[in-house]
Each structure stands twice: as C-alpha cells, then as structure tokens.
Amino acid sequence: MWFYLKLAWRNLFRNRRRSFLAGTAIGTGLAALIFVDALIIGMERNMIKSATASFLGEGQIHRQGFR
C-alpha cells in the first residue's frame, strides 16, 4: 500500500500543471453542484410557501386553544 501512496505522491508533483487543472476542475464542479443544489432547495421551499399561503379558504380549522 505504501508503494502506491509514494507513487501517487510522486506523480502529483511530476505533472504539476495537469494536477492543478484536475484539482481546479474538481473544485469548480463541486462548487457548481453545491450552488445548484442550494438554488433548487430554495426554489422548492418558496414554491411550497407560496402554494400554502395563497390557497386559504373561507374557514380555517385550528386545534382547541390556538389563540
């Protein structure tokens, strides 16, 4: 196992530009994934809030002692 770790570590520094580009691509992709996921979660919450707030009927049912 140590052989493979030493080999991987050596190859990281042997191909610095390729390692940097791969790391940058992975970081950019991960940041985009997190941003899009947060955007979708926010849109879903806003959609649920908008749908439940706008469809109030003539009467509302609350538990006893609500206000």
List the pLDDT tens digit at each of the 67 positions of the chain: 999 999 988 988 898 999 999 999 999 999 999 999 999 999 999 988 887 777 666 666 778 887 6
Residue 61 lies in a domain: no
Domain, as residue range, for 20: 2-52
Whether 41 is covered by a domain: the verdict is yes
Q: What percentage of residues in the chain have a pLDDT greater than 70? A: 90
Please state the domain count of the chain. 1
Q: What is the pLDDT of residues 50-60, one digit of tens each?
A: 877 776 666 66
Helices (H), the chain: 2-14, 16-54
Contact 10, 19 (CB under 8 A): no
* Model confidence pTM above 0.85: no
Q: Which two tokens stand for residue 26?
A: 């992975």
In a domain, residue 62? The reply is no
**Would you say residue 64 lies in a domain?**
no
Task: Give domain status of residue 57, yes or no.
Answer: no
Report yes or no on 29 lying in a domain: yes
59 within some domain: no
